[in-house]
Structure 1
Amino acid sequence: MNAQPDRAPAEGPGGGVSAGEALFRPVRAGNAFEETVERLLQAVRLGVVGAGERLPAERELAERLGVSRVTLREAIRVLADAGYVVSRRGRYGGTFVTDQLPEPHGAGRAVDPGELEDTLSLRYVVETGAAELAAARALPPADRRHLTGTLAEATGASVADYRRRDSRFHLAIAEMTASESLTTVLADVRMRVNQLLDEIPLIEPNLDHSNRQHGAIVDAILAGDAPAARRAMAEHLEGTASLLRGFLR
């Protein structure tokens, strides 16, 4: 098998901030192991490192997370035992994301109405702001290709892989803002949203509708129309919020 290219580069498209840079940032010393596991899970479940792709090299990843290689190996072992990654030896070895992620462990849990509304409110503020800021920037060609590429991947994703590709698309919009802090916050809120989405079924007609809305968001960003980008994102988020409220309230 040929080696897959490392994802999560230190620099984002067009020299901006990548989701990998935001996720693979130094962890806090007090909870280094737990936070390392969390960061790796975020990178995998949000599609920053896709199915079958290799995580950054161990030495590089340990340096970027600010942890020892022993801590990193322990965290990778946890993910391997849970079925998220597999380690391979040899010339083209490394740690690779599994082709099929495990089923979410939280399915069927009771969702607190306050938790639901708090997550939806935070998502609305963060993601509409990200879309507006992205549209206000003069995006270089590499950024534009990255954004349209993640859109195409989400549009063409299978039902089984849709949520990960959808997450990657939303993270790409944050990357377009060139704000590491905003990208980090959006990644965190997206994990919260995905935990809620894991409680409801994937509805194929809704996926088609979401893809059309994604296209409208990208069109507005690429046109540099910040108000339109904010409106398109708001409409998209309101549709998802309605589904979550309908199923979980």
Structure 2
Amino acid sequence: MVRTNAEPDADAGPAAEAVFRPVRAGNAFEETVERLLSAIKLGVVAHGDRFPAERELAGRLGVSRITLREAIRALQEEGYVESRRGRLGGTFVTYVRPRPSRAEARRVLKDMHVDLDDLLTFRRVLETGAAVLLAETGLTPDQDRLLTERLARVDDAEVDDYRRTDTVFHLTIAELTGSPSLSSSLTEVRMRVNDLLDAMPMLVKNLEHSSAQHLAIVESIRSGDPEAARLAVREHLEGSEALLRGFLT
């Protein structure tokens, strides 16, 4: 789906908040590049969409407009974005995900310089912990409505938009814990995992299983059952972990 003059999708709120947070001092340029790249890879700013205006984005990231421009220039040189002038101008995403293949998945993992088991273990700890904590603390009516809405977005998503809505659903669970550190960590992990998943063919049957598992996670949180939440998240993540390991070997 291409929205030529669109701003970042409001439905991606949790991911946007985690990505467009102030960068740490002392490494502003590198971290700004990473944040912008995260926004692209997570679908916060999709192909054809426009980043927020320079003044707003620099303010949200806590960097100078000069640093932001340098980061955008670096991404433009790598083919991720392009800058357009005029009344409808701005910085637009031009990145197109490569065609899925085992070779591409292996290349992505090699370029990450991370251990797959370590990456998946960290993700499991973060996502399980978030769901268990929510089940223990309970949801407010507004939180319940938001989680239900995000679940519906995943269920209604077209295949091309599934990864983005799925990511937003999982990041919403982390966001609802009230821990910015948890949301930030999971955002970074999801970007890496998504890079690998994007290199694999997406099977409709797997999406049907994921839909049922998402519902089980939400219902366990809603019912205040931490053990059920733990088991539901484990079952859900074990499926994608098995697919990744099988595809990469």
Which TM-score tier does this pair reach, normalised by the shorter chain? 0.7 to 0.9
Paired residues, number: 241
CA separation of 1:178 and 1:122: change in aligned 2, threshold 3 A? same
1:15 paired residue number: none
Stretch of structure 1 that moved more, 106-115 or 30-39:
106-115
CA separation of 1:151 and 1:45: change in aligned 2, threshold 3 A? farther
Stretch of structure 1 that moved more, 58-67 or 18-27:
18-27
Aligned-partner residue type, residue 27 of structure 1: V
The separation in 2 between residues aligned to 1:33 and 1:167, in whole angstroms, is 26
Aligned-partner residue type, residue 42 of structure 1: S
Deviation at 1:104, TM superposition (A): 7.6
More helix by share: 2
The separation in 2 between residues aligned to 1:225 and 1:198, in whole angstroms, is 33
CA separation of 1:69 and 1:111: change in aligned 2, threshold 3 A? closer
Deviation at 1:73, TM superposition (A): 2.1
Contact 1:7 1:55 (C-alpha < 8 Å) held by counterparts? no
Aligned-partner residue type, residue 183 of structure 1: S
Aligned to 2:72, the other structure's residue is in SS state helix
Pair 1:76-2:72 in alignment: yes
Contact 1:84 1:102 (C-alpha < 8 Å) held by counterparts? no
> Which of 18, 22, 38 is residue 26 of structure 1 equivalent to?
22
Contact 2:42 2:164 (C-alpha < 8 Å) held by counterparts? yes
The separation in 1 between residues aligned to 2:128 and 2:62, in whole angstroms, is 32
> Which of 58, 63, 66 is residue 62 of structure 1 equivalent to?
58
Stretch of structure 1 that moved more, 55-64 or 230-239:
55-64
Contact 1:135 1:222 (C-alpha < 8 Å) held by counterparts? yes
1:103 paired residue number: 98
Deviation at 1:131, TM superposition (A): 1.0
* Cα offsets for 1:37-72 (capped at 9, x unmatched): 211121232233455654333222212212111221
* Cα offsets for 1:143-183 (capped at 9, x unmatched): 32332222222222222222222212211111111100000
Stretch of structure 1 that moved more, 112-121 or 68-77:
112-121
Aligned to 2:177, the other structure's residue is in SS state coil
User: Aligned runs of 1:38-187 on 2, under 5 Å?
Assistant: 38-50=34-46, 53-80=49-76, 82=78, 84-85=80-81, 87=83, 93-97=89-93, 101-103=96-98, 107-109=105-107, 111=109, 115-187=115-187
TM-score by length of 1: 0.81
Stretch of structure 1 that moved more, 31-40 or 173-182:
31-40
CA separation of 1:71 and 1:7: change in aligned 2, threshold 3 A? farther
Deviation at 1:87, TM superposition (A): 4.6
Aligned-partner residue type, residue 59 of structure 2: E
Deviation at 1:109, TM superposition (A): 1.3
Contact 2:97 2:198 (C-alpha < 8 Å) held by counterparts? no
Aligned-partner residue type, residue 228 of structure 1: A
1:223 paired residue number: 223
Aligned-partner residue type, residue 22 of structure 1: A
Aligned-partner residue type, residue 51 of structure 2: L
The separation in 2 between residues aligned to 1:208 and 1:40, in whole angstroms, is 31
Aligned-partner residue type, residue 109 of structure 1: R
Deviation at 1:115, TM superposition (A): 0.9
* Cα offsets for 1:62-119 (capped at 9, x unmatched): 1221211122123234445555445555556544556x74438954417479711111
The separation in 2 between residues aligned to 1:153 and 1:95, in whole angstroms, is 27
Deviation at 1:139, TM superposition (A): 2.6
Identity across the alignment (%)? 59
Which blocks of at least 5 consecutive residues in structure 2 are unaligned?
A: none
Stretch of structure 1 that moved more, 137-146 or 233-242:
137-146
CA-based RMSD: 3.2
The separation in 1 between residues aligned to 2:144 and 2:48, in whole angstroms, is 25
Aligned to 2:107, the other structure's residue is in SS state coil
Deviation at 1:192, TM superposition (A): 2.0
